[in-house]
Amino acid sequence: MSRLTDMDTISPFDRMSPKKKSHGSAIDIHVEYDRKDSATSGTTSASSPRMSPCSVESGSPYLLRKVSGDRRSVRPGAPSEPNEYNFNYHKRGLFLIINNKNFHPSTGQVTREGTNVDAERLEERFQDLGFEVRRYNDVASAKITKIMYDASEYDHSDCDCFGCAILSHGIEGRIYTTDGILPLEMLIVPFKGERCPTLVGKPKLFFLQACRGITYEASIDLTDSVSDRSGYSEDFESGVHPLRKIPVEADFLFSYSTVPGCYSWRNNQDGSWFIQALCIVLENYGPKMELLHMLTQVNRIVTYEFESCTDDEFTENIKQMPCIVSMLTRYVYFRPKKPDIRD
């Protein structure tokens, strides 16, 4: 049972409906052909003819294909497993932590006690996964905008992916800085395809510990559960085309601490429920479990293992439900880098 004395929330009079989004556009992405190691086989595999998107034959680019060759000799930038993102680059990538604890009185926000514990744990966990972690404390509006645009202009060509964690107060669609409030979209736009070409086709991962409204999460008693263990595993041959168009919104993942409209809970000594659970899962499964599977574990831990314990009857025994919004197009694995990867 976790005892709470503070919440990442704001006044109900500051709520604002999210704005409608314009239609997405597409960008071109170059995909390399799969090639067998010439030292092993002396041959090169050719791409298959272009198939119709509605095709269900084994030549469809949407189906899995077999992989051959010595995995240890994969060159940086070469295609990885067909259903996984290519994580064969030299660097894991940049990971930003925006940690806002103190706020100007004009914002009406209280100090976020316990957030430094969250930031320290995140820094350790993502360093363990191979990221170059940059932590920023108590960031104002102008500075956070500059941080995001500078990061988008960084050369990510030799990186697997990009990540960012934002720890602050908030409401739906907006994040508090130390001196104001910004639309979340403003912090995401710099990393979209047309603005950040070196991250095209690579995962952009955002973890957001902040309230998304003023509503408490309702709960019910669980009396029974159903487990669906159905599934299948099949391998298919397929070709890879040298040029494809993908939406600029592709390859983003947003892992929210709570569902839209609800509070996000934080303990003054132990940190937030969401970040506690995330760091536990990353520590135990980070190098071996697929990312969305890990985030499902986080959902379960927060859902079943945490409950508010306060002196206020109105906020006693309140639950929380994290929320995953994924535009990823492949699986994400943070496997350790192999020392013998070569150019």
Q: Which of 159, 161, 196, 211 is catalytic?
A: 211
Q: Which of 169, 196, 262, 279 is catalytic?
A: 169
The neighbour count for residue 43, using CB atoms within 10 Å, is 11
Q: Are 280 and 304 in contact (CB under 8 A)?
A: no
Q: Are 35 and 46 in contact (CB under 8 A)?
A: no
Known catalytic residue at 169: yes
Residue 54's φ and ψ, nearest 5 degrees, are -90, 0
Who's near 268: CB < 8 A, 6+ residues apart?
4, 5, 6, 113, 114
Which residue from 8, 25, 16 is spatially nearest to 246, judged by alpha carbons?
25
Known catalytic residue at 23: no
Q: Which amino acid is at 194?
A: E
Residue 245's φ and ψ, nearest 5 degrees, are -105, 135
Quick one: which H or E segment has residue 133? Answer: strand 132-137
Residue 22's φ and ψ, nearest 5 degrees, are -75, 165
- 3 pairs with which residues across the strands? 309
Give the strand pairing for 91-99 and 132-137.
parallel
CA distance 329 to 5: 40
Q: Which residues are catalytic?
A: 169, 211
